[in-house]
Amino acid sequence: MNVLIKVSVVVLLLVAAAAAQNNCSEASACDYCAGLGGCGWCTYSGTCESGNQTGSFAGCVAPYWVWSAPSCPATPAPSTCSSASSCLSCTQLGGCGWCSSNNQCEQGNSTGSFQGCVSPYWSWTNNQCAATPAPASSCSQYSGFCDACTAQASCGYCLSTHVCEAGSGSGSSSGGCVAPNWAWFNSQCTVTPTPVPNNTPAPMSVCGDYENDCVGCTEQIGCGYCVSTNLCETGTGTGSNSGDCSGTNWVWYNSQCNSTQVH
């Protein structure tokens, strides 16, 4: 009999919790919400949620959690974070922090944003803001050198194009390069060989082995492919060392090879 009573109590509690959750979601104002049994108002999301005095079951806690109606006016919603376009302006707004991985100002607290952005990409105070992003032109001078590129503030390296671009941890600012082709940290450069400086020639015999093979040729350090002759030659990013192939006829990166140039 005692077992049946316990089971009945559990069932009743579950039914009550489900009913409370349904009732909560229907409330659209703080005072009405807080007057419902088992409901509280979350000011940062502007929603009525089921919970208890410590917070909602969905994760909303103080200072954004209102459990009693008299507290509604005393717990204002944070300022609109999305209006801020920089870390410094963002962190001056109440309840807002800057996420450097996507360059967005988001609602949150000192531990992270409510959207899931945390350290090391979360800035809650002005002194945590990163240095001013580098202009794209500053990054481009490190194209071809992943290690040097990722050592620059706000620069990342696109492994598929071998171009150093301005961006964030999530990808290039242009949106053209993202994971897994995007290297934001030096340790991510190791997935492909780091190119050697243009003035370091490859042995002629190495390049010559890749005639009619654009991809195989451009994977060799110091080798480039001449489209007009289908020859693999030593050279730099601007043309062959012999001087007889350059411009649109010269392919330095394998991403520039097309299907007709692959043996």
Mean pLDDT lowest among 10-24, 160-174, 233-247: 10-24
- pLDDT classification of 166: cutoffs 50, 70, 90: confident
Q: Is the confidence at residue 79, as pLDDT, over 70?
A: no
Q: CB of 124 within 8 A of CB of 91?
A: yes
Break the chain into its structural domains and give their ranges. Answer: 2-71, 81-128, 136-191, 204-261
Q: Which residue has the higher pLDDT, 196 or 80?
A: 80
What's the pTM value of the predicted model, to 2 decimals?
Answer: 0.31
- How large is the average pLDDT for residues 128-141? 64
Q: Which residue has the higher pLDDT, 259 or 156?
A: 156
Q: Is the confidence at residue 127, as pLDDT, over 60?
A: yes
Q: Which CATH number fits domain 81-128: 3.30.450, 1.10.3470, 3.10.20, 3.30.1680?
A: 3.30.1680
Measured between its terminal Cα atoms, the distance across the chain in Å is 82
Strand partners, 225: 232, 251
Fold of 136-191: ligand-binding face of the semaphorins, domain 2 (3.30.1680)
pLDDT digit string (tens) for 169-186? 777 877 778 888 888 887
Which overall architecture, per CATH, does domain 2-71 show?
A: 2-Layer Sandwich (3.30)
155, 151, 198, 159: which is closest to 177 by C-alpha? Answer: 159
Q: Is the confidence at residue 205, as pLDDT, over 80?
A: no
Structure tokens that stand for 75 in this block? 């717990």
What integer pLDDT is reported at residue 112 of this predicted model? 79
Amino acid letter, 227: V
- How large is the average pLDDT for residues 131-155? 72
Domains 2-71 and 136-191 in one fold: yes
Sign of the CA dihedral 25, 27, 33, 35?
Answer: negative
Q: Which residue has the higher pLDDT, 254 or 183?
A: 183
